[in-house]
Structure 1
Amino acid sequence: MNKLIAFFLIIISFGLFSENKTSHLETIVLGSGCFWGAEKGYESLNGVYDAVSGYSDGFGIRPSYREITKFKNKFNDNNFAEVVEVTFNRQVISLESILQHFYEQHDPTQLNRQGNDIGTQYRSIILYNNDLQREIIDKVTNEFQELLLTAGYGKIQTQIKPLDRFYKAEEYHQDYIKKNPNGYCPDHSTGVVFDKSEIPVIDNTILQEGKYILVIDSEDYCPYCEKFKKDVVNNYQGNIPVIYRTGRELSGLSIKTPTWATPTIVFIEDGIEQFSYQGYMEPELFYKALGKFKLGNTEAYDVAFNKGTDARFCKEYQIFKNTPDGIFVDKLSGAPLFDTRDRFVSRSGWLSFTAPVPNSTYEVPDNSYGMRRTEVKSVSSNIHLG
């Protein structure tokens, strides 16, 4: 005979991680004169994961600050350029936005200089990684050229090339302005800016009260997102809502976990992340996390995942023994488990049924404690039923 119990589950640690994820981190290498101020500018952008000062696009000399600043290399066409390697989460900020910032923060019409910084090391340059980046670069460059011409400026001198290799600059150059707040950081911008249309902000007010399962999805194709939706979300009928957002739609929420991997499943309460999981979650792992989130570390949790046993004639038994006709469901997945029409009085002190709802449970041999028994588990959430 099967007995119905409460459905809870085990504690898991914060920030669990899976290899089954789609990364949305992307890099671009940009040179716009002195890299100190440029690095600081990129780091201020929401969605930029990292900005590293360095050298690129040189040949025949050593990529070091001492070497590229020698007088003999000042007008050497093979000199390395001061550049910044920008790593960004394209779910939060687009390459187009990065490039708009690049053009707005310096004067790309100057050749081999920015203001009083003169020499080939200060050339304006974009070094791309693939053809798709090149298409976006050409689009943004052409748009800015039109804006510059309208404002009375000349032709853009920015070099656009495929990236060969990036060399990280010496450590004292990294975060230079942060270490030296009064350090050299001139403004060479033209004052010409792009006309940026406002992106509507998603209203997350509803997520700031109560519990929600927040799935951070991709704006483009993400195979593991589709698999999670197919294997878990499409079958989920629980009463904690599943809400989808992209990385740029989290306004008003307190999310600690980086959003560059999708899917990222975040369990939030009153708008605040409680814990999360990066990458694809198989159904069993998802329901373990959901159980912790929904009901915590209780006796019922022990029953559901540690094969514990609730007391005979417990409070739940008294509540449910005389319920009207209806269906008992899995408290986590919401899937139907037992029909009250199959209930009978076993006098065991536990709710008992002659049969489950078809295809809702499965049985596992249990030979623990020197006994031969049969364990009944839920198909949907894999929790222990009796």
Structure 2
Amino acid sequence: MKNISFITAIALVSVLTFYAVAPKSTEYSAARTTSAQTPNDIEAMMPKSQSTEKMPATTHLESIVLGAGCFWGAEKRYQAIPGVVDAISGYADGKNVSATYREITKKKHKNNVNNHAEVVKVIFNSAKVSLETILHSYYEGHNPTQLNRQGNDVGTQYRSTILTSNEQQNAIALKITAQYQTLLTDAGYGKIETKISSLTEFFEAEQYHQDYLAKNPRGYCPDHSTGVKFTADTDETKLANKKIDNSPLLKGKHIVVIESENYCPYCEKFKKNVANDYKGTIAINFRLASQLKGLTIKTETWATPTILFIQDGKEVFGKQGYMSPEYFYKALGAFKLGKSEAFNVAFDEGTDGRFCKEYEIFKNTPDGVFIDKLSGAPLFDTNDRFNSKSGWLSFTKAVDGSVIEKPDNRYGMVRTEIRSKTSGIHLGHVFPDGPNGQPRFCINATVLEFRAR
């Protein structure tokens, strides 16, 4: 056993010595990846700390509390609006009255101005549906000219009320109310009695009231609406109304970035740090959350940016929030390269096999530029290519400002690693033994693409 261990040790020392003094044809020591290409599983290929990480984002979830008579029918109506995340029945706008159904329906509170109103808390994605659209549905769904009643439902608990969360909502509510008043007046109706004020506290109703009509399809749901409608043009924001053709996204691989109609600091940060310099072959497409028609999306889009990797119109991987260049290119690498030799080289500092297929293709290309396989950034020019007879692409220099150099002391050797400046992927190493005293950039072909001049 001792003799075997001794022989093994001698062999190991010999191997390390060979790599340390190896000629040009053996300057790479990492083993070639031989695993076959498999379907993308981006989540599994991302580091766990990154795949579960919550990204900074601009949140577009808002809520407003609306009273329009019996909350059962109102809740169902709001839930049907695209972009509404949830509608919760409850009580609000009361004082010195217990917020329970049993209490607010007592006869003594029928005319009590301090009684709670039956209301619905509407939680919505403002990047997908505007507050204006929700308030249009609100006014069209009941008769706001009736005071403390809706049809045969009489009492202060049935009053028409809008309880806002901020000054902006209050201003929008006043604007929409004025618009609807004009429409009602033209139709022969009287003054709107809806009370608009700030929400102080919302009390969720008992569980049996939640989704009541879904549980009881034949339950009480009277229609007290006036029949007066807003015009179609006022139902959509100008950007949401813009015609968007998603048919090109139904074939092949694409990146979709959900941005905001309004200012989104993390969207701007992503554009500055990633998108503005991106020239990759998989296009980045910017959309609003309301402009995803025809696409199959799994990730929630109420925060911006939301970044989606789509294949044949279906989401493969998505993430809410800002992606750093490092995170974005790791996700893009998994999406574009899969579990391939190229992915291993790019992100695990692997090495192409000598004289690999890509090398044989790229060693004699026409005049042009070799680009980063992910970012599309120019890296090396054919004018600087030479045949080192090593089995790896060799260049005397990189395109100015395109790469970064890092010390690499692995495997008992002192080398200088080369990475792409834009994507950060591993490209190869640089050695001081090029022609005529120039450097020799020894580069893996699998992480490059070629663009003819």
> C-alpha displacement at 1:276, in angstroms?
0.9
Paired with 2:53 and 2:208, the residues of 1 have a C-alpha distance of 33
Q: What letter corresponds to residue 360 of structure 2 in structure 1?
A: Q
Q: What letter corresponds to residue 108 of structure 2 in structure 1?
A: K
1:338: which partner in 2? 380
SS at match of 2:171: helix
What fraction of aligned residue pairs are identical, expressed as a percent?
A: 61
**Structure 1 residues 18-33: aligned runs within 5 Å:** 18-33=54-69
Does residue 266 of structure 1 match 2:302?
no
> C-alpha displacement at 1:253, in angstroms?
1.2
Paired with 2:137 and 2:208, the residues of 1 have a C-alpha distance of 25
SS at match of 1:12: helix
Paired with 1:174 and 1:17, the residues of 2 have a C-alpha distance of 33
Paired with 2:305 and 2:169, the residues of 1 have a C-alpha distance of 24
Counterparts in 2 of 1:287 and 1:10: CA distance versus 1, 3 Å: farther
2:103: which partner in 1? 67
**Structure 1 residues 23-172: aligned runs within 5 Å:** 23-172=59-208
Equivalent of 1:173 in 209, 227, 230: 209
Does residue 257 of structure 1 match 2:309?
no
Contact 1:17 1:277 in 2 (8 A): no
> Which consecutive unaligned segments of at least 5 residues does structure 1 have?
none
Does residue 368 of structure 1 match 2:399?
no
CA RMSD of aligned residues (A): 2.0
Paired with 2:413 and 2:79, the residues of 1 have a C-alpha distance of 63
2:343: which partner in 1? 301
1:287: which partner in 2? 329
Q: What letter corresponds to residue 292 of structure 1 in structure 2?
A: A
Deviations 1:70-114 (A, max 9, x none): 111111111000000101111111111111100000011111111
Counterparts in 2 of 1:58 and 1:16: CA distance versus 1, 3 Å: same
> C-alpha displacement at 1:18, in angstroms?
3.4
Contact 1:60 1:78 in 2 (8 A): yes
Deviations 1:163-222 (A, max 9, x none): 111111111111111111111111111111111127354221121122111111100000
Contact 1:317 1:351 in 2 (8 A): yes
SS at match of 2:232: coil
Paired with 1:381 and 1:164, the residues of 2 have a C-alpha distance of 49
> C-alpha displacement at 1:19, in angstroms?
3.6
1:214: which partner in 2? 256
> C-alpha displacement at 1:373, in angstroms?
2.3
2:7: which partner in 1? none
2:395: which partner in 1? 353
Runs of 4 or more off by more than 4 Å in structure 1? 13-17
Contact 1:110 1:156 in 2 (8 A): yes
Q: How many residues align?
A: 384
Does residue 320 of structure 1 match 2:359?
no
Q: TM-score, normalised by structure 2?
A: 0.81
Q: TM-score, normalised by structure 1?
A: 0.95
Paired with 1:150 and 1:326, the residues of 2 have a C-alpha distance of 70
1:247: which partner in 2? 289
Paired with 2:255 and 2:173, the residues of 1 have a C-alpha distance of 37
Q: What letter corresponds to residue 189 of structure 2 in structure 1?
A: Y
Between 67-76 and 190-199, report the one with greater CA deviation: 190-199
Q: What letter corresponds to residue 223 of structure 2 in structure 1?
A: D
Q: What letter corresponds to residue 88 of structure 1 in structure 2?
A: F
1:193: which partner in 2? 229
Between 13-22 and 371-380, report the one with greater CA deviation: 13-22
> C-alpha displacement at 1:327, in angstroms?
1.1
Paired with 2:242 and 2:41, the residues of 1 have a C-alpha distance of 39
> Which consecutive unaligned segments of at least 5 residues does structure 2 have?
1-23, 429-453
2:269: which partner in 1? 227
Structure number with bigger Rg: 2
Paired with 2:188 and 2:73, the residues of 1 have a C-alpha distance of 26
SS at match of 2:269: helix
> C-alpha displacement at 1:26, in angstroms?
1.0
Contact 1:100 1:194 in 2 (8 A): yes
Paired with 2:94 and 2:195, the residues of 1 have a C-alpha distance of 13
Q: What letter corresponds to residue 97 of structure 2 in structure 1?
A: I
Paired with 1:100 and 1:178, the residues of 2 have a C-alpha distance of 23
Contact 2:42 2:317 in 1 (8 A): no
Between 76-85 and 144-153, report the one with greater CA deviation: 144-153
Q: What letter corresponds to residue 175 of structure 1 in structure 2?
A: D
